[in-house]
Amino acid sequence: MAHQIEQMAYVGATPWHGLGSQLTQKQPIEIWQREAGMDWQIQESPVHFKADAIGHMGSIHSFPEQKVLYRSDTKAPLSVVSNRYQIVQPREVMEFYRDLTEVSGYTS
């Protein structure tokens, strides 16, 4: 089976696909974030496009209703979204899990 996992972290038994960084239990959320490959931010940029013109030069136009989301570390594009789209940073996702682990008694 094909996978699209670039980086991940886990505790306990090795996942079936054998990928990822094995961590010891009760690691701080900052370690999980780094080892899971989530230590980057989502950045945004206005959408621009080049309209063809005579010759090799074209004119650049913007599309103000949309924005491009991309990774801060690799600059890889993630998506084109509406200007109304609210970004949730990877760090915020990890914080959600901190709350879950603290509730169940597995604090760092």
Q: Give the three-class secondary structure for 43.
A: strand
Q: Are residues 14 and 48 in the same domain?
A: no
pLDDT at 1: 44
Over its C-alpha atoms, the chain yields an Rg (Å, rounded) of 20
Q: Are residues 75 and 105 in the same domain?
A: no
What is the residue whose two structure tokens read 């991309």? 70
Q: Are residues 81 and 57 in the same domain?
A: yes
| Residue-averaged pLDDT of the chain | 82
Question: Residue 17 is part of which domain span?
Answer: 1-41+89-108
Name the pLDDT band for 35 (thresholds 50, 70, 90).
confident
**Tally of domains within the chain:** 2
Name the pLDDT band for 105 (thresholds 50, 70, 90).
very low
For the chain, how many residues are written? 108
The DSSP secondary-structure symbol of 72 reads: T
pLDDT at 106: 45
Q: Are residues 84 and 47 in the same domain?
A: yes
pTM for the model stands at: 0.71
Classify residue 82 as left (phi > 0), alpha (psi -120 to 50) or beta: beta
pLDDT at 100: 59
**Would you say 38 and 100 are in contact if contact means Cβ atoms under 8 Å apart?**
no
Q: Are residues 61 and 75 in the same domain?
A: yes
